Structure 1
């Protein structure tokens, strides 16, 4: 029976958000269009509250899958917003292009007690990251690019997310399938998937990674049960870079993730 891990300190998780924590990332960062993203400039702020749960399969050897309870909070104003696991400010915004300053907390972390294969490895911690994001709304799709860097020097690296999604609306239904890739610097990759010389033992050799690329695909679905109450779901797949899959502390080459929640909008 899988061990469920409940965490109520995820105060800024919102529509279609995983985190990957999905350990997250990685997960992370998902890109279904929220009401906040669709809000025209000059419109009244959007606010919603709710609750939900996210789950993901573990990539680390012997570690349990994750189930995490989350509050769903989203706010979008003229200049500032709360979205996903962080918040931001619009630098530029028109009908086609938006450029934002972003800040977020990365929950991706593990402790040596999470798995027998991690015993003797130093705990990996979450961190605060900041960066820039740009989003282009085309006729048939939405393209986005995000860049984040570590402010607390935990992993000391960078992440670049490239996404394409195709939103569909039909009455009270909103569907957004997406494809994307997340690029991670060598410092990031080694922090979460590498093995230092001091951590190497028989069966767990020293392991060093370069830049890595994880591919993702999934679908977000929002259903308006009433004018104010929304059911939000997301499910997806992440294919790990071969260097990550070959790590001696990893025993999977992909992970699945999902989210379900209900929120009241104002």
Structure 2
């Protein structure tokens, strides 16, 4: 669910920027929006089915706050490097729906429930005319895993007329040993013949995807995104996992007031 949430947030940012005149995501104007999306996601756990879920979409953006779906960003003052370069800073909080229950798949029978949680941290983005580079640090504020995640991303947006935005992107996401062990480790009390004990170690996943937006007019937009994640060996080696990649697809509609 985390990858799909990131897809939706990126798509919404594109809608907001495209609809503003001039196109400045940090405009002093206020934007409201409502919509509905559908996410289809394949998690890496052995035998687990593809998850298809509806996602309500709520957008609010002004000079200080960007809220969309499970993520909120409190914008900090930006730094203009030149006419074509800018550093943007923010404090970020998001809900991550990762985790599982023991009845989600046979391999998870007898495992303690792993919960999603609220993550918080900081973000910096280097915006240029050619591409945008971002870095984000998050810690598990809910205390379920007590883990940390550091993500780096590179993306470029192409605009076709006044209606279409297309953004290919790639990135890497490092998770510390606590996060990996919580979601992919097997405790001694959970071990069995076909599921030996496993202690997770820090891992770096590689991600790539594309986001697209089609605006019928200034109010109505369709959002589409797809992402593939290549899992690190430290996750693939878990006895709970039988996949080397995960993937997610997002389709949504939003009405901007």
TM-score normalized by the length of structure 2 = 0.90
2:20 aligns to what? none
- The 3-state SS of whatever aligns with 1:243 is helix
| Cα gap change, 1:145 to 1:64, in 2 (>3 Å) | same
Q: Does 1:127 align with 2:112?
A: no
| Cα distance in 1, alignment partners of residues 187 and 25 from structure 2 | 49
Of 99, 110, 115 in structure 2, the residue corresponding to residue 109 of structure 1 is 99
Structure 2 alignment gaps of length 5 or more: 18-22, 81-85
Of 9, 27, 34 in structure 1, the residue corresponding to residue 14 of structure 2 is 34
- The 3-state SS of whatever aligns with 1:190 is helix
CA RMSD of aligned residues (A): 1.6
Decide which structure has greater strand share.
2
| Cα distance in 1, alignment partners of residues 30 and 71 from structure 2 | 17
Q: Does 1:216 align with 2:178?
A: no
- The 3-state SS of whatever aligns with 1:244 is helix
2:73 aligns to what? 88
CA positional deviation for 1:42: 4.4
Moved more, 183-192 or 70-79: 70-79
1:256 aligns to what? 247
Alignment of 1:1-266 (within 5 A): 21=1, 24-25=2-3, 29-30=6-7, 31-32=10-11, 33-36=13-16, 39-94=24-79, 96-171=86-161, 172-266=163-257
| Cα distance in 2, alignment partners of residues 250 and 164 from structure 1 | 28
CA positional deviation for 1:203: 1.2
> Contact between 2:72 and 2:93, CA under 8 Å: does it hold in 1?
yes
- The 3-state SS of whatever aligns with 1:189 is helix
| Cα distance in 1, alignment partners of residues 181 and 173 from structure 2 | 15
- The 3-state SS of whatever aligns with 1:213 is strand
CA positional deviation for 1:125: 0.5
Decide which structure has greater helix share.
2
Structure 1 alignment gaps of length 5 or more: 1-20
- Cα distance per residue 1:177-216 (max 9 Å; x no partner): 0001111010000001111111110011111121101111
